[in-house]
Amino acid sequence: MESIVKKILALKNRRRAVILAHNYQRGEVQDIADFTGDSLGLSQQAARTDAEVIVFCGVHFMAETAAILCPNKVVLMPDAQAGCPMANMITAEDLRKKKEELPNARVVCYVNTTATVKAESDICCTSSNAQKIVASIPLEEEILFVPDKSLGAYVSSKIGRRMHLWPGYCPTHHRILAQDIKKRKEEWPRARVVVHPECTPDVIALADHVASTTGIAKHCRETSTKEIIVGTENGIIHRLKKESPEKTFIPATPQAVCPNMKKNTLEKLLWCLEDMEPHITVPESIASRARLAIERMLELSEEPSHAVKP
């Protein structure tokens, strides 16, 4: 392990690369990254880096977003097969058809979408800025929110805005059941419940705090409660324990593991720096349109979402 870490660090310097890791990555991948964060924080980090190479340890749409924002940089992924099943629940063709049915609707796409879907959308959002992005659309405008029905329903209820919701969802977050939270609350009656807005509405209704992964990390650092039930992908617990070693983090269920997020390993990270592939690219004809949707979001999200050095 130690030698592979040394090799990665040496090659990273030689390639003038930066390593970005999502909060759900394996612990050892988070530990070697220059920055760990949520989807917004990592896109902001990609947009501002002066590194020549970005190694994106996350899922495919995240690396695509970096490639769209940094057309002159090389964006690598340790495993290009790490996709997001929710992002695959809508295609550009599906969306074009829906837009014909709803010709006046503004399309807000969750960042968990392919570049081609972003290219068909008006504005992008992440779990940390979705309320702000939706609220920026004038009240008289109709909104089509794609593809996460759970995040869409949560935003809708928080800001009192009706939207057309695409029926997509995160299979990992939907494995967290209300009965799991209730059981954990019985076992840990003093614990606080923090969940991600990709969870189902009945799980969200039982939560004390709902936030993006970086928002969850911030809340866990700041709360005085020592026991916390975590309703999101369990990879985040590595970061939570590191940041607050005195607290106890209780996964809502052991089932909340995203197999795609775990596809990136230290070995594949080393190989991608050696081979300079898989290289993630987006054709400029698509990237130029998708970039508009992402840049509109970034303009409305001036506060950095704190991708951190682990």
Interface residues with ligand 13P (CB under 6 A) are: 23, 38-40, 59, 84, 112, 126-127, 170, 196, 198, 212-213
Token code pair at residue 310? 């682990």
Which residue in 260, 264, 301, 305 binds ligand SF4 (CB under 6 A)?
260
The values of phi and psi at residue 251, to 5°, are -65, 135
Which of ligand SF4, ligand 13P, none does 126 bind, CB closer than 5 to 8 A by kind?
ligand 13P
Taking the CB of residue 160, how many other CB atoms lie within 10 A of it?
Answer: 7
CB of 10 to ligand SF4, least distance (A): 30
Which of ligand SF4, ligand 13P, none does 127 bind, CB closer than 5 to 8 A by kind?
ligand 13P
256 burial (CB, 10 Å; 0-12 / 13-18 / 19+) is buried
Q: Taking contact as CB under 6 A, which single stretch among the options 28-36, 83-91, 96-104, 159-167 is the one that binds ligand SF4?
A: 83-91
Q: Taking contact as CB under 6 A, which single stretch among the options 4-12, 46-54, 168-176, 206-214 is the one that binds ligand SF4?
A: 168-176
**Residue 131, beta-bridge partner list:** none
CB of 267 to ligand 13P, least distance (A): 22
Distance in angstroms (rounded) separating the CA atoms of residues 88 and 168: 9
Q: Which is nearer to ligand SF4, 55 or 261 (CB)?
A: 261
Which residue in 121, 172, 214, 301 binds ligand SF4 (CB under 6 A)?
172
CB of 127 to ligand 13P, least distance (A): 4
Binders in 231-250 for ligand SF4, by CB under 6 A: 233
Binders in 39-68 for ligand SF4, by CB under 6 A: 59
Which of ligand SF4, ligand 13P, none does 114 bind, CB closer than 5 to 8 A by kind?
none
Q: Which is nearer to ligand 13P, 51 or 151 (CB)?
A: 151
Which residue in 95, 134, 261, 272 binds ligand SF4 (CB under 6 A)?
261
The answer to whether 56 and 278 have CB atoms below 8 angstroms apart is no
CB of 14 to ligand SF4, least distance (A): 30
Which of ligand SF4, ligand 13P, none does 260 bind, CB closer than 5 to 8 A by kind?
ligand SF4
Q: Which is nearer to ligand 13P, 113 or 212 (CB)?
A: 212
Cα 206 → chain centroid:
22
Distance in angstroms (rounded) separating the CA atoms of residues 310 and 307: 9
CB of 252 to ligand SF4, least distance (A): 14
CB of 212 to ligand 13P, least distance (A): 3
CB of 87 to ligand 13P, least distance (A): 9
Which residues of the chain form contacts with ligand SF4 (CB under 6 A)? 59, 84-86, 112, 170-173, 198, 233, 258, 260-261
